[in-house]
Structures are given as structure tokens and as C-alpha cells.
């Protein structure tokens, strides 16, 4: 039997009721919150999501910001943007032997939830520490290019909501591992493009936006997620999910196309069929056309 492209191998899939610890990344948990059906298809059934191109410019700014903050981490000094914020007067980049692993894609900060038998993990961009309270501050770098950035508007923006859930999850796993998390910040670098030539350079305007994450709902959400993982029932189509609608529409179109092919095949058979067979074939064609008509009503 030939292998179906687009299906993950067994090692990347969860088997309902399995005893082996299974990893759940921040993005995987986010997928569950967004659409339970897509989460189930991906995690249990192994349906691969379509690949996406990388974000090389964003990755470049992330890398340079990490390099920049690592200088202050080594010297335990404040970054200039920290000095501008009164709430960060006792804050420096956090020194930890595993900081590089915490920031590594496909690595990340990890904690085991023994009750759920899940390894919860997420690759953070940076961690700072308040030297006075000894509490941690989780930081996420964002690169963009907008006309302006206002704190309240940015936090309320539709496209920022996944970022906020990301920080909720990071705080949860750090605190589950025993760390105290004071707050989180988005360090946003906004590329300025108005009324200036390129000249092989780009100017960025930095913004520090604080977000106080909420983790109260996460334990219950994780329990519900694990219950779904151990279920053998595929969740219903989520009408608010673009991926669900795309798959559903594609399946609908394919069914109609298959019926068309079957009808054409029967019409061809009629041309050479015996008289006593024609009536039966015509009945089959009519039945198929009725089924097709019912499907087309849903278009």
C-alpha cells in the first residue's frame, strides 16, 4: 500500500490512552484553543498542516536583539530601553545556564505535567529578572512596520490575541516549574518607512509593551485538551475556522466531481448495453443525479 503524502509518522502522533509522555508545544496548545477539530486531525490523525515560508527578516531582527541583550546579560547591565521604563529600574537580562536551550526552536523551556503525562514546552525569546524581587519577566520580540504603535490599541488588536495567549502559556509553564513570574513584555521594533530612501538600511523604532498574563483557565483547558486526545471522536467542523471550511469545501467539491465521473461512466455503458440492462443503468444515473442535486443545494 502506497504511503499517503501529508500524514505524519507514528512517532509524531498521539495514540489515545498511550503511556508514553507526549510533547505539547505552545503553538500546539494554541491550535487546540483555536480549533479543536484541526488540533485532533493534526495531533491524533497525523494530518500535516500546509508548510509556510519562513520569516527571514523577522528572524534576523530576533537574532540581533538576542545578541544585543546577551551583551547586557553577560555584564549584568541594563539595556538602554530598560532605563527608560521606571518599572524596570531593577531589571537586567536573566543569567541561566539553559537560556540558549530555552530560546532554541524545537527545544525550548520544558516542564512535565505528571497528571496529564504531557511535556509542556515553548521557545521563548528572552527572560529578564528583577534583582530586588527575584521575579522573572518573560519577553517576546516582535518585528513589524506600521504607521504607529499605541500600547492599548496593539494589545486590543485582533491579530495580537494569539500573542497574548502565547504569553499566558509561557507564564504558566515557568510557574509550574517553580519560577516566579512578575509580568511579561513585548519588545516591538517598528520599521520606519515613510518619506525616506532605502540606502541599504532600515531604521527601527523600539516599543516596550507590558502585558500581565492570565493563567487561571489554562489548567482546565489542558484537562479538556487531554480528554479530547484520549477520545476516538473527531470534533465537529468549526465554522469559524478557515482550515475547516477549506477542507470541508474541498471534500464537497470532490464528492460532486466523483458523482459526475460515475454518471459519465454509466452513460458510456448504456451505449453498448443490452436492452434489458438499459433501464437499470438509467435508474442508477437518475439516483446519482439526485444525489448530486442534493449536494449542489448546499453550495
User: pTM for the full model?
Assistant: 0.88
**CATH code linked to domain 18-229:** 3.90.320
Closest CA to 172 of 239, 222, 129: 222
Pairing of strands 118-122, 22-25: parallel
pLDDT of residue 54: 81
Print the SS3 string covering 94-128.
Answer: CCCCCHHHHCCCCCCEEEEECCCCEEEEECCCEEE
What average pLDDT is seen over the chain?
92
Q: How far apart are CA 12 and CA 157, in angstroms?
A: 34
Looking up cell 493563567 gives 215
pLDDT of residue 29: 97
So where are the chain's domains? Answer: 18-229, 242-297
Across residues 218-229, what is the average pLDDT?
Answer: 98
Print the SS3 string covering 157-213.
Answer: CHHHHHHHHHHHHHHHHHHHCCCCEEEEEEEEEEEECCCCCCCCCCEEEEEEEEECC
Model pLDDT for residues 135-169, shown as the tens digit of each residue: 999 999 999 999 889 999 999 999 999 999 999 99
Residue 4 confidence (pLDDT) above 70: no
pLDDT of residue 2: 46
pLDDT of residue 299: 64
| Confidence band of 279 (pLDDT split at 50, 70, 90) | confident
Model pLDDT for residues 67-112, shown as the tens digit of each residue: 999 999 999 999 999 999 999 999 999 999 999 999 998 899 999 9
Amino acid at each position: 500500500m502506497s504511503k499517503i503524502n501529508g500524514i505524519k509518522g507514528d512517532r509524531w502522533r498521539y495514540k489515545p490512552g498511550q503511556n508514553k509522555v507526549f510533547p505539547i508545544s505552545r503553538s500546539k496548545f494554541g491550535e487546540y484553543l483555536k480549533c479543536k477539530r484541526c488540533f485532533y486531525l493534526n495531533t491524533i490523525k497525523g494530518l500535516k498542516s500546509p508548510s509556510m515560508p519562513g520569516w527571514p527578516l523577522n528572524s534576523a531582527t530576533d537574532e540581533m536583539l538576542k545578541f544585543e541583550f546577551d551583551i547586557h546579560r553577560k555584564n549584568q547591565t541594563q539595556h538602554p530601553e530598560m532605563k527608560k521604563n521606571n518599572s524596570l529600574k531593577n531589571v537586567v537580562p536573566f543569567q541561566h545556564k539553559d537560556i540558549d536551550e530555552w530560546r532554541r526552536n524545537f527545544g525550548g523551556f520544558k516542564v512535565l505535567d505528571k497528571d496529564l503525562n504531557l511535556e509542556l514546552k515553548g521557545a521563548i525569546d528572552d527572560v529578564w529578572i528583577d534583582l530586588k524581587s527575584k521575579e522573572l519577566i518573560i519577553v517576546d520580540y516582535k518585528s513589524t512596520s506600521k504607521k504607529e504603535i499605541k500600547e492599548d490599541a496593539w494589545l486590543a488588536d485582533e491579530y495580537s490575541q494569539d500573542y497574548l495567549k502565547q504569553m499566558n502559556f509561557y507564564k504558566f509553564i515557568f510557574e509550574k516549574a517553580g519560577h516566579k513570574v512578575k509580568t511579561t513584555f513585548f519588545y516591538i521594533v517598528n520599521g520606519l518607512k515613510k518619506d525616506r530612501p532605502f540606502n541599504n538600511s532600515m531604521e527601527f523604532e523600539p516599543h516596550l509593551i507590558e502585558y500581565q498574563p492570565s493563567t487561571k483557565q489554562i489548567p482546565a483547558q489542558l484537562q479538556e485538551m487531554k480528554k479530547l486526545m484520549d477520545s476516538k471522536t473527531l470534533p465537529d467542523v468549526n465554522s469559524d475556522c478557515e482550515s475547516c471550511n477549506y477542507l470541508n469545501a474541498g471534500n464537497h467539491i470532490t464528492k460532486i466531481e466523483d458523482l459526475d465521473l460515475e454518471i459519465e461512466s454509466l452513460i458510456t455503458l448504456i451505449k453498448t448495453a443490452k436492452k434489458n440492462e438499459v433501464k437499470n443503468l438509467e435508474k442508477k444515473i437518475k439516483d446519482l443525479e439526485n444525489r448530486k442535486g442534493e449536494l449542489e443545494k448546499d453550495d
